[in-house]
A and B are shown apart, each in its own frame.
Chain A
Amino acid sequence: MIRIEGLHKSFGPLEVLKGIDLHIRSGEVVVIIGPSGSGKSTLLRCINLLEDISSGTVIVDGLNLKDKDTDINFIRTEVGMVFQQFNLFPHMTAMENVTLGPIKVRKMPKKKAKKLGLELLRKVDLEDKAHVYPDQLSGGQKQRVAIARSLALTPKAMLFDEPTSALDPELVGEVLEVMKALVVDGMTMVVVSHEMGFAREVAQRVIFMDEGLIVEENTPENIFSNPQNERTRSFLGKVL
């Protein structure tokens, strides 16, 4: 589904990704952990070209992102993205946030898009908030609308960039519940997160990144109970 080889990314003189190789199978759930500044978010953002790639290849669903023929806007509908700061459109209701993509990108008739929107809002348990603007929603509700907004394009994979880091602790659970439901549906997911409990419960693979490189990857059981690398050990010692 997602194939990354020799990925490098620099911001000016600062090299943030120093050669990443990562294959993610269809239906796989991968959680990326690591200290801040390790390049986790940048890696995620390279997968749908919110950051352009300095060198290396990223292949999504058989399409090379560096190919001139690859339609980036199409790739982005295939790979949904959920942001730490939600980034809901504040001038649109929850329903409008969700249906904008289907209407403008998929050219779906408004009526059909509304039906889809309602269905998705029901899925994230916010059917009653359809006509509410984002500033009337709690952080957890905003993030759930954001997830519904991404799902509205029926993506084949979802990228989550620290989806619960900006939330009050008591609101984290409701977002994780929605994400777990996606796992059950068989969604391919790449999650940058500090939620070790979530990683342990649903990830097939946990990747530990540090200083622009993948330091260690393993099943959650192995990585949490028996980390091989010193840096992984010291990081886990601080967060667990």
Chain B
Amino acid sequence: MDSMGGNFQFKYSVMWESIPVLMTGVKLTILITFFGLIFGFLLGSAAGLGKTSRNIFINKLAGVYIESVRGTPLMVQVMFLYFGLPLALGMRVPPLTAGVTAIAVNAGAYIAEIVRGAIQSIDKGQVEAGRSIGLTHFQALIYIIWPQAFKRMIPPLGNQFIISLKDTSLLVVIGVGELTRQGQEIIAVNFRAFEVWLTVAVIYLAMTMVISRMLNTLEKKLEIAA
């Protein structure tokens, strides 16, 4: 057991030296988070609107999507998409595509509930006022409900963005070279788990803090404009 402690010596230099390699992982992490969230937001908005729809088919379809994604672990979804689905489709899916898809599908389900909640929180009188001046249901949604609902979505969306960014670390299981994967590979060579995981953690923290700040700024901006 003496290799586990006693003579441990913290080495700053390991942290600095690992940064260039970790940065290649950061690039991928940002890329996957960015596209995963863009598609996730579109998917989530569609499913969230679907959940408010009076069309039973659309409503149920959105419900099934949300329930099945929320009810299964992301890691299982990732492995299903990457290892399982290609067997059925008869074609390989590049790991990056599988990764972005998994993040998008997963985030979409949670975002759907955020969107639904925000839309349903807008006073019914708003739609009625919109309809009373001749707007169609769709126009009332676009010009009246959505802008107000979007403002209310920002805090929970920020939460989900941060969760999704951290969730990209699970993509190590399909070999996507994102930040966590790069950390693993450095440790496989130098065995400096303490310094490397600490560095990785600090980088994740820095990225999530940037997301928080950006959403705070957006929220303040929208606050001023009404």
Question: B44-77, CB under 8 A of A: which get 1 and which 0?
Answer: 0000000000000000000000000000000000
The 5 residue pairs across chains A and B that have the minimum distance between CB atoms:
A87-B129, A101-B133, A77-B134, A81-B132, A87-B125
B129 touches A80 (CB 8 A): no
- Asked if A83 contacts B136 (CB within 8 A), the reply is no
- The 26 sampled A-B contact pairs (Cβ below 8 Å) are A48-B132, A50-B131, A73-B134, A76-B132, A76-B133, A77-B133, A77-B134, A81-B129, A83-B125, A83-B132, A87-B125, A87-B126, A87-B128, A88-B129, A89-B144, A89-B148, A91-B147, A91-B148, A91-B151, A105-B135, A149-B129, A150-B132, A150-B133, A152-B133, A153-B133, A153-B134
* CB–CB B226/A133 < 8 A: yes
Give me the interface of A with B, judged by CB distance under 8 Å: 48, 50, 73-74, 76-77, 80-81, 83, 85, 87-92, 100-101, 104-105, 133, 135, 146, 149-150, 152-153
Instruction: Answer whether residue B216 sits at the interface, using C-beta atoms and an 8 A cutoff.
Output: no
> Is B128 a contact of A104 with CB atoms below 8 Å?
no
A104, B132: Cβ atoms closer than 8 Å: no
Report A-chain residues with C-beta under 8 Å of the C-beta of B188: none
A76 adjacent to B225 (CB under 8 Å): no
Interfacial chain A residues near B97, Cβ < 8 Å: none
Number of residue pairs across A and B with beta carbons under 8 Å? Answer: 68
Contact B148 A50 (CB under 8 A): no
Shortest beta-carbon distance, A187 to chain B, in Å? 16
**Does the CB pair A76–B131 fall under 8 Å?**
yes
Interface centre among B125, B129, B139, B144 (most CB of A within 10 A): B129
For the complex formed, measure the closest distance between the CB of B131 and the CB atoms of chain A, giving whole angstroms.
6
Query: Which of A77, A83, A87 has most B Cβ within 10 Å?
Result: A87
Q: Contacts A91-B147, A133-B226 hold; do A101 and B126 have CB atoms under 8 A apart?
A: no
- Whether the Cβ atoms of A50 and B226 lie closer than 8 Å is no
User: Which single member of A50, A76, A87 contacts B134 (CB below 8 Å)?
Assistant: A76
- For the complex, count residues of B whose C-beta is within 8 A of A: 20
Main secondary structure of the interface of B (DSSP, over half): helix
**Whose C-beta in chain A lies nearest to the C-beta of B131?**
A76
In the assembled complex, how far is the CB of residue B140 from the closest CB belonging to chain A, in whole angstroms? 10
Whether B143 sits at the interface, judged by CB under 8 Å, is yes
The one of A83, A100, A133, A153 in contact with B128, judged by C-beta atoms closer than 8 angstroms, is A83
Residue among A73, A83, A133, A153 making CB contact with B129, cutoff 8 Å:
A83
Q: How far is the CA of A146 from the CA of B151 in the complex (A)?
A: 23
Q: Are B135 and A101 in contact (CB under 8 A)?
A: yes
Contact (Cβ within 8 A) A80 B132 = yes
Q: Which of B125, B126, B133 contacts A100 (CB 8 A)?
A: B133
Q: Cα distance A86–B69 when bound, in Å? A: 41
Assembly CA distance A48 to B226 (angstroms): 30
Residues of B within 8 Å of A77, CB to CB, are: 133-134
Contact with B125, one of A48, A73, A85, A105 (Cβ below 8 angstroms): A85
Q: How far is the CB of B151 from chain A (nearest CB, A)?
A: 8
B56: min CB distance to chain A, Å: 18
Judging by beta carbons under 8 Å apart, are A89 and B135 in contact?
A: no
A214 to chain B, nearest CB (A): 24
Contacts of A73 in B (CB 8 A): 131, 134-136
Contact assessment for B144 and A50 in the assembled complex, using a CB-CB cutoff below 8 Å: no
Chain B nearest CB, measured from A53 CB (Å)? 16
A104 touching B143 by the CB < 8 A rule?
A: yes
Neighbour of B226 across the interface among A80, A91, A104, CB < 8 A: A91
Contacts of A80 in B (CB 8 A): 132-133
Question: Which A residues lie within 8 Å of B125 (CB)?
Answer: 83, 85, 87
Provide the bound-state CA to CA distance between A146 and B130, in Å: 11
Establish whether residues B132 and A105, one from each chain, have CB atoms under 8 Å apart when the complex forms.
no
Cα distance A150–B128 in the bound complex, in angstroms: 12
**Which of B128, B131, B134, B136 lies at the interface centre, i.e. has the most chain A CB atoms within 10 A of its CB?**
B134
The residues of A that contact B225 with a CB separation of less than 8 Å are 91
Contact, CB under 8 Å: B148 / A90 = yes
Q: Are B134 and A89 in contact (CB under 8 A)?
A: no
Contacts of B148 in A (CB 8 A): 89-91
Contact of A104 among B123, B131, B139, B151 (CB under 8 A): B139
